[in-house]
Structure 1
Amino acid sequence: MTQVRSELTRYLRTETVGGAILLIAAATALLWVNSPWGDSYVTLTETVLPIKPLHLELTLANWTKDGLLALFFFVAGLELKRELVVGELADPKRAALPIIAAVGGVVTPALIAFAVGFGTPGMDRAWAIPVATDIAFALAVLAMTGSRIPASARVFLLSLAVVDDLLAILVIAVLFTTSLALLWLLIAAACFAGWALAQWKRVRTPLVYVPLALAAWYALHEAGIHPTLAGVVLGLLTRVKTDAGEDEAPATRLEHMFQPISAGLCVPLFALFASGVPLDGKVFGQLFSDRLALSVILGLLLGKTIGIFGISWLAIRLGIATRPASLGYRDMFALSVLGAIGFTVSLLVAELALADVGDGSAVELAKAAVLVTSMAASLAGSALLLRRGRVHQARREARALEREE
C-alpha cells in the first residue's frame, strides 16, 4: 500500500506540473493567434510533415492530435491498469464512488448537450465534446488552491478522472471509427497480441516493443480507427505486478519514463496547436446565442457538476457507495465543479466531430466554448476549494487547541 501511495503522489506531482505547462501553452496559442502575427500561427499549424513511404501526409496540428496524444493515452492506459489491479479501483468498496461519479459525469453532460443542441449540424457526434474531464488541468487547479483540504480529495478526483478517461476513450472508439479496413485491423490485433506475449515472456528490450507500438499505431490509422487508441490498448496490456526479485513492474517503469514526456511535452504541444481560437466580438457573441456553443457550455458546467455530485450524493444516500474519509459534501461539490474542466480530450473530440461541418467555424466555436467554460470552471472551483480549505484549516486548529488544553 505504501508503494501505491508513493506512486499516487508522484503521479499527482507530475500531472500538476504538466497542467501548469498546459495552461501556459494554451495561453500562448490564444495570444499568438489573436495577435498581429496570427497568420504565422495558422501557417505553422497547417504545415504538412509527410512520411511518403507510409503515405502519411499530416499537418503539424494533426501530428500532435494523432501522434503525440497516443503517448498521452498510453500513460492513461498504464495508470488505468495500475489503478484497476493494485490501486484505488482494485478495492470494490473504494472504487464504487469514483466509478459511479465518473459514469454520472459522462452521461449527464452528453444528455444535456444533445438536448440543447438537438438538430444543429454535427450534433450527432458533437454531444460527446463535454464528456471528458481534463485530469492535468483539474489536478493543477487542485494543487494550487486545494492544498488545505483532505488528501482523500486528490484520490477521489484522480480515480474519477481515470474512469472518466476510459469512458471518453470508448466514446471516441465508437463515434470516430469510419469504415473499417479488416486486414489492417487484424494487423493491429496481431501487434497487440505480440505485445501481450512479450509481457508474458518477460521480454525487456525496446527493440521488440517500439516496433510493435509503431506498427499498431499505423495499423489502426489505416484501419479507420483513431490511432491514439493504440496507446490505451498497449497500456492495458502491460504488466503492473512485480516478479520476485524485480524492483519495478514494467508499467511502473514505463510510467516513470513516459509520464513526464506526456505531461510536459505531448499534451502542452497539443494544447498549443489546438487552442489557437480567434476570440473576436463575433465569437463571444455566438458563445451565448449559438446552440452548439451553448450545448458545450451547459454540458460541461451543468452536466459535469450535476452528474458527478448528484450521482455521488445519491449513491452515498442509498448506501451503494461510501463517502471518502474527512471529505464533506461541500468538498465533493467543489471537486465536481473542477470536473467541468474539459480541455485535452474535449478539444480533440471537437476537432473530430465537427471537422466536416461547414467552413470550419463550428470547430472554432466549439473549441472557444471549451476554453471559456474550462476557465470559468477552474475559477469557480478554485474559489470553492479556497473556502473549503479555510474551513478545514480552522477545524484542524480547533482540534489542536483542544489537545493542548
Structure 2
Amino acid sequence: MKWTEISGVRRASNDSLESLTRATRRPPSKAGRPVTVRPLTELSANIRSALLENPSYKYVDAASDVLHAAGKTACQNTLVRVAREHRDDAHPYAITRGIRSKKPKLNDEAQLERCKYSGWIIEQSLLRVRGVIFVCYDETSKAMGGTNLRGGKQLYTRPVGVNSNDIAVPIKPPKFHLMICAATSTATRVSHKRPCVIWQDDDDAHAARAENLKKLNQTLRNYVARKQALASTFGTPEYRQLRDINDRITKENTRAKDRNRAEGRTGGGLRRGVRKLWTPEKLFSQEDFVYTRGKGMSGAWFALEILQKHVFPYYIAVRDSHPEADVYLVMDNVRLHGLALRLLVPEIERLGILRAPHPPNSPDLHPIEHCFGRLEGFLDDYLVRGSSKHEKEQAIKYIQYIWQEDEGMRRYMDRHLSMDYFARVADRCLSRFGNNNYTG
C-alpha cells in the first residue's frame, strides 16, 4: 500500500476504512507472550510519548510503531499500566487518554456536517490573510479521590468459569465531585488568564442570581420586541430574512399542491403538506428563562455565572490582543449551551462575538477535549484525604493552578491547540468522509 503526505498527516492512497485501519497495525516481530515494559527505560518513555502524540487512537494502535521499532509486543493492559503508573523526565505524571467520543453511529447528514466543518477549519488555516483564533470552552466533571465508575463496571482479571461477583473487589467511592468549567484559545500571547471556574453550590448567591435573571429576561423581551418591529419594516435585514423564509415556504407549498393534484386529491386534500407563512412573532419569539436550583448547572446559571462573567471577557481579551485576527468561540451543542446562548443573544450581538459552526457528536473536533484529558493525568496523582471544606478548597486551587499557570500544561496546550494540529485533525476527519470511528 502506498502512502502520501497531506497536511503533515500520513494517509493511505485509497480511501477504504478497512485498509486504513489495517495499515496502522504492525505485525508482531516475534510470536509468544508479550514482554513486560519496565519503567524508567527508553521504551517506556517512547511509548508514553506515542500515546500523547495519538490521543484519538487505541493504546495498541498508538504504540504500534514504537513497539515494532523495538522488536517487541505489548498487550492493552501493559500499555494502560505504562500510561498510568510509569514516570519519566519528559512525562512526570499519569497519562489519562483524552475525552473519548461515545461514537454514536452517524447518519449521512451528520457526517456531511462534520465534513463541512472540517473543510471550513482547513480553509481558515490556509487562508491566513487576517489570521484566525479559536477560543474553546467546555465543562467536565471530576471525581476527586476513590474511583469514578460513571455507572460502569471496574475491569479486572478473573479465571475462566469463575463467577465475577464472587471475586469482585469493592471499589472505594469518590470523596467528592467537582464540575470544572474552563476555556482556552489557540492564541499564545494573551495577558488574560485562561478561565477555570470550579462549580460549587452557593446558597448566598441564589437570590442575587434570580434577581439578575429577571433583569435579563426583561432585556430579552425588549430585544425581541425590537426585532419583531424591524421584521415588519420594509428594507431592514430582519424584513429580508422573513421575506426569504416565506418565499421558500411559498415555493414548497406550490410544489406540494401540484403533487396533491397529480395524486388526484381534491378539496382539503390539496392542502396536505402545505405550511403556514411565518410571522415576525414566529421568527423572533419570546422565551422567559426560569432560575432553578439543583446539583447540576441550569442554562440560566451557566449564562450568568460562566459565560457572562468569565468566557465572554476572556474572548474580548483574546480579540483585543490580536486585532488583526478573526476570533471564533467554539462550544459544543449540548442543550445547556443552547439555552444560555439564547438568553444572552442581545449581549452576544452587542459584543460582536463570532461562533464556530461546531457540528453535533464531534468531541474529536473540539480541541479543549484533549486538554481536559491532560488535566485528568495531573489529577490522577493528586491525593485527596477527605471531603472537608478545606480539602475541596485545596483541590480547587490545585486545578486552577494546573490549568492557568503550570508550564507543562501550557506547552501541551500550545501544541494541541495550534492551528496546524487543528487542521490535521480536520484533515483526518475528511479522509474518513466525516466518520468519527478512527480505529476500525
TM-score, structure 2 as length reference: 0.23
Decide which structure has greater helix share: 1
Which structure exhibits the higher relative contact order, with contacts defined as CA atoms closer than 8 Å and separated by 6 or more residues? 1
TM-score, structure 1 as length reference: 0.25
